[in-house]
Chains A and B, each alone.
Chain A
Amino acid sequence: MKCSECGEREATIHETVIINGKSIEKHLCEDCAAKAGLGGQGHLPMHELVATFVKSVAGSEGAGAALTCSVCGLTYARFKQTGLLGCASCYRTFEEKLGPLIERAHEGATHHVGKIPRGALERSRQGGPDRLETLLGSSKEREERLSALRRQLASAVAAEHYEQAASLRDEIRKLDELERGGA
């Protein structure tokens, strides 16, 4: 079978990926698979998804294509080609465009919940509430995160997923404690 991407080389990597309930079959050669981030262990066809997302969500060429990260020099146009960002600041520079893209890639999720770097958290406590904000976000963001967790908790309880519910309760308690400790 020939590679479905380049149509030249023999397809040696065959994968089925299910995304949003749709099963996608891929037959690729080594080179095209590497380009798509496929093949090898633990790698999902993310770049390909990103490319699709970027094209469909981020809209046409004009708007923002010339946007450049002042820290690493990556342009948004280049990001559209590779699906890869250049540094932490890229997330701020391109935030407006990345927001909807990330939301779609993560099935509607908009905010991080879960682990916060423990060392940074310790260090920020000494720096006071301003430093803590760089890890936990503004009070509005913190409130949003808590209400997202409470919604997840309610549906876990309704579905009788008690282990999940317990871990969500722990997470809410952890954030509450951070609020009190950091204020």
Chain B
Amino acid sequence: MIQTPPGRAFTLPRKAVLLAAAVFVTLILVPAFCHQGYALRLMGMIFMGIALASCWNIMSGYTGYIDFGPAAYFGIGAYATALLMVRGGVPFFLSIVLGGVVAVAFAVPVGLPTLRLRGAYFAIATFAFAEATRQAVLEWDRVLGVNFFQGSHGITLPIGPTHQFFYYTFLVIMTVLFVITYLVERSRMGYALKAIHEAEDAAELIGVNTLKIKIYAYAISAFFTAVIGGVDAYWLTYITPNDVFSVHITIKMVIMCLLGGMGTLLGPVVGASFLTLISEPLWARFPYDYLIIIGVIIVLVIVAMPKGIVGTLLEWKVDSRGT
């Protein structure tokens, strides 16, 4: 947990800002020097991972409410974008934003009842919601006798631009989410989120409208998850319900965040980079044992480093200062 000493809440550490800006500028320049499709694609995927992990972090990392259903919003965003572009001829960037809006339109009514649930119940309810949306999109056409989502046949999008395009799109989304997380962490809302995590009833008792704060966090998270889903749909050019509503998307978000450190600014960055970088070569080398190895890594990390990479480092730093 990053502590903000009183009085310094509004001043950013100068060095950190400079460093972040330098990284950002470097990342903008990379495609100018590196024309390798593979490298840009890999970087793009890392950015997407960081963005997704940040979405989950804003909601679950800070509040401790384990959302096991973000795949619902990823899928909603993917389908909204696909349908808008294919059926409505809506331009890409407008489509992804509209996809985010659709996701919020789901997140608020879904969040209102579910965010009153605690612990495992919230986790299971959100999971059920995600699976229900997947099933609904899968079965919709058959049950209603229409031709809308095209069930398991999926939807083909217009052929997307180059990897470089997605590199920049995800770089922007990732940066926006990073800045939002930074601002939220220092804002009133950030304190309320952490308070909810620690002792929700006590937070409510000292004036925090906990449900409202949770809904905000949930809606922000849903909006961006859907935007990312929309971009990814365009990148993939072909989507089916089983791909974009997959529980594996949820799990990836959770694990990246957990690996890096939940409720920390840098956790998603570290976790997503780590997971993407190790899983790509693993997947290439051991396509059949890949998931087994990932399973082993998950278990080992949880048992050995329950606070995640960033959390463990922070703790180290605190301990070595002799607190």
Decide if A and B are genuine partners. no
A residues with a Cβ closer than 8 A to B are none
- B interface residues, Cβ below 8 angstroms from A: none
